[in-house]
A and B are shown apart, each in its own frame.
Chain A
């Protein structure tokens, strides 16, 4: 996936907010798991509780470090058939997820194509009415030029849309047909500004070694009702000892893009660092996510240090857009 296509990041971003874009997100991993034992295996190895969903649904979940509950990867699980799951890790974490849960790495056999935006379903319906009709957080099979595919009502932009798993042999055709039906191709640059405006975490930034789910406001991803799972004692112990930081939104008063790693100051004192930062094309201000002292609250005026200069900003709630 390129950083941007010919229209540029801001225009691709706005196309997703007002119409629809198509991303080739085939770089994500896919592990295919099949068998009676898979449900219990995923329940044991991943944080979220599959009892909250059922066949034909998807779930956001984490792989935790058993020692300290660091988020080693954030993952989407598609429950596609009886005893059959697609587990979708971040590209660079596919190997450690596979070490934990096994499965067959089918990443190179398929493409993942995301169509996102208020017009996404209307556009996908031109290519496949079945794919377009999938409900939010559900996954359904469909056929494209005779090939078996899946469509999930998921995404990473804060907009409605679908993500389609299609065999590599028909991937170009699918992408081109979606584009011909009216979706604007969008690159990695827009994918990052869109997910940031939507307040969605990115592994390696908000989620990484040293950050547990509750510290990233993602305690709901931990299935505490399960009898046991990897990292359980560690995450409970972290909560009992107190969170070290908490994830907050930061909104600059001006247009300057905020940047990952920048220190955040409250009344002259450093209270944490940005984990992501950029420019919000919708708000036309700098925005970012930051791991800050947990007792801070929304609305506080802070300063963000960018290349030696401090720019005024507010701690705020995220998502940054409605």
Chain B
């Protein structure tokens, strides 16, 4: 209970302050949270009871957008981890690819949307391609970094026991690079959300980004922003849960009990 209070008071305080400030200011650009909530209910929860009250927009905009993010991110994850492991374990390949990867990572993926628009035309394919292209680099480079920095003692032992290559990958390399892989996946996911919105704003006929740009009504605009925040929060939260579960062994290394707090 106390931990709940400790964690929530600032959030509730911010919410109350927001409500108070916006209702006092009466600015049309800043509607009160209550108005935004009402508008959100009107936008998404006004459908028939047979569909759990969900309105058409949920099926036409929100779910497709979410699908694009998850699909693009999943493809990027598979590609990034696979290529990253190979590159990270092979110094020669690492040398050859370094220049290309450094440049590809530095290109802000959002500016590629116009290019993909020309090459792939408007549609889901364009959005997913943009997301894959943007999210793959942090995943790939972090995975390569993790695979590169495996303790040489470990790899020597593995070689000594003549562990077959697939076991070596699944039981040694992937777990050792695990923390790094998840760091890359996290960055990739937030980039995927950014790119979903940019791609849909520029070249989409549906989706959250399209609605954000097209809906001129200010409370609706705020409602869409809050929705993006909630969705991103839920998806990153789910990833954090998976990470917590998968990397349990990593944290199992005992922490020193008497770790002093910094700056005391």
The answer to whether A and B belong to the same complex is: no
A residues lining the B interface (CB < 8 Å): none
B residues lining the A interface (CB < 8 Å): none
